[in-house]
Chains A and B, each alone.
Chain A
Amino acid sequence: MARITASVFTSHVPAIGAALDLGRDQDDYWKPLFKGYEPSKQWMKDNKPDVIFLVYNDHATAFSLDMIPTFAIGTADSFTPADEGWGPRPVPTVVGHPDLASHIAQSVIQQDFDLTIVNKMDVDHGLTVPLSLMCGQPTPEQGWPCPVIPFAVNVVQYPVPSGQRCFNLGRAIRNAIESYDEDLNVHIWGTGGMSHQLQGARAGLINKEWDLNFLDRLIDNPHGLAKMPHIDYVREAGSEGIELVMWLIARGAMSDIDSPAPVPKVAHRFYHVPASNTAVGHLILENQ
């Protein structure tokens, strides 16, 4: 039986990818940020998953305004890093896990979540920056350490899904993964956030106190956190802080939510301001 052993939460700022790709990660500006991910890279080596289920949002890359799926699961064999306007990142092609992805789609749709099944999709920094932060910079020939199932959530065009719906979706994803016959160690990642606003006179908003409280509640009181309405994210964490609803999908898939398991172990926690316009938050939680 497949099982989820851990969840990883991290911001996915494009400038982090650029800093790595251009070899600027040891610059004074970036050094403290990458230092915070050193334990994470070691943790990935020590706890290598068979598959990563990676929740992220597409930033007007694979999905134009022609079609905007609320929840989209990538079922392809592979996914090419996108050209977002700066040229594609020089990172490996993302290898998928079509069989597990199709199984999850079948199971989750039967649990009343309307997923869009995507057989062809380029992946942007939302997916590749978390991989770089956790796995370093493998060459295209080396490849990423394991297959990845991309799961894209619409947080670009309103209405976006509520925190509660994301949380409940995570619970359904856990059921789906645990009903897969092959013995696989799966990590579920929730990415995006933390506080940031990229637009208008309020651009540059950062709310450290709110972010730290969000991290605390994500660990200890996810059921309560899931009830927070969108407008609180926008007012307190900036218009693009809404990406944090995606973290609730990964948290909802942890074993303490629907079974008597203890609260997950915090294997690593990190917070840093700024990365470009954004507050970077990061957590690794292990099921007990």
Chain B
Amino acid sequence: MALHKPYTDVPGTIIFDAQQSRKGYWLNQFCMSLMKAENRLRFKADERAYLDEWAMTEEQKQAVLARDLNWCMRTGGNIYFLAKIGATDGLSFQQMAGSMTGMTEEEYRAMMLAGGRSAHGNRVVGEDGDAQAHRQPQGLSARKEGN
């Protein structure tokens, strides 16, 4: 009997379950290594060489090099692990989270100051909230690029 996973129909959300964890094992362990200052320095000095020390897939390495956190998550990354990459780059959690929406840093910050993103329309895939797939990417910069 298949396991019950009631969390697969939440829009814009990947739940980090044991399956994702297995898939992302080396990606996330690479992230953990950035908790040591000397490893952060080595990574920043030659990112590709540092990534090649880990048994990650080529796609995972490309996702890290591109700093595309949504891509990292699709390949098994978890946000608390991935946050170590952002910390290494000197980013705050708000900058990291905002980068996953398509909004500029200012737009995302303004949304949070205005009370955050509404749950309305964003509870179940198929509704019409701003986190739904058909409304991505969000924000002015995405529209300017014509994406």
Closest chain A residue, CB of each to CB of B73 = A199
In angstroms, Cα B5 to Cα A229, docked, is 12
Please tell me the number of chain A residues within 8 Å of chain B, measured between CB atoms: 47
Residues of B within 8 A of A201 (CB): 11-12, 70, 100-102, 131-133, 136-138
Residues of A within 8 A of B37 (CB): 83, 87
Q: Does B116 touch A at the CB level, under 8 Å?
A: yes
Beta-carbon contacts under 8 Å, B14-36 to A = 14-18, 21, 24-25, 28-29, 31-32, 34-36
Residues of B within 8 A of A210 (CB): 119
Q: Does B75 touch A at the CB level, under 8 Å?
A: no
In-complex Cβ contact of B15 among A83, A86, A158 (8 A): A158
A276-B92 contact in complex given A158-B16, A200-B100, C-beta closer than 8 Å: yes
In angstroms, Cα B39 to Cα A38, docked, is 39
Q: Does B50 touch A at the CB level, under 8 Å?
A: no
Q: Does A273 touch B at the CB level, under 8 Å?
A: yes
Q: Does A279 touch B at the CB level, under 8 Å?
A: yes
Residues of B within 8 A of A86 (CB): 87
Among B6, B96, B102, B116, chain A packs the most CB atoms within 10 A around the CB of B116
Contact B122 A202 (CB under 8 A): yes
A198-B25 contact in complex given A83-B36, A85-B88, C-beta closer than 8 Å: no
Contact B70 A200 (CB under 8 A): yes
Closest chain B residue, CB of each to CB of A240 = B79
Closest chain B residue, CB of each to CB of A14 = B93
Contact B87 A84 (CB under 8 A): yes
Residues of A within 8 A of B10 (CB): 202, 234-235, 239
Q: Does A207 touch B at the CB level, under 8 Å?
A: yes
A214, chain B: closest CB distance, angstroms? 13
Q: Does A60 touch B at the CB level, under 8 Å?
A: yes
Contact A204 B111 (CB under 8 A): yes
In angstroms, Cα B94 to Cα A274, docked, is 11
In-complex Cβ contact of A157 among B13, B16, B32, B36 (8 A): B16
A60-B98 contact in complex given A201-B12, A202-B131, C-beta closer than 8 Å: no
In angstroms, Cα B97 to Cα A65, docked, is 22
Contact A200 B32 (CB under 8 A): no
Residues of B within 8 A of A200 (CB): 12-14, 70, 73, 100, 131
Among A18, A59, A60, chain B packs the most CB atoms within 10 A around the CB of A60
Closest chain A residue, CB of each to CB of B102 = A201
B60, chain A: closest CB distance, angstroms? 14
In angstroms, Cα B37 to Cα A229, docked, is 40
Q: Does A236 touch B at the CB level, under 8 Å?
A: yes
Mark each residue of chain A from 103 to 132: 1 if its CB lies under 8 Å from any CB of chain B, else 0: 000000000000000000000000000000
Mark each residue of chain A from 231 to 258: 1 if its CB lies under 8 Å from any CB of chain B, else 0: 1001110011000000000000000000
In-complex Cβ contact of B13 among A60, A84, A199, A279 (8 A): A199
In angstroms, Cα B102 to Cα A102, docked, is 48
For the complex with contacts A85-B35, A198-B97, A201-B137, 14 further pairs of A-B residues with Cβ separation under 8 Å are A15-B92, A85-B84, A157-B17, A157-B18, A199-B69, A203-B108, A204-B101, A205-B116, A205-B117, A205-B122, A235-B10, A274-B116, A276-B93, A277-B97
7 contacts between A and B (CB under 8 A): A65-B24, A65-B32, A203-B101, A204-B108, A204-B116, A234-B13, A235-B10
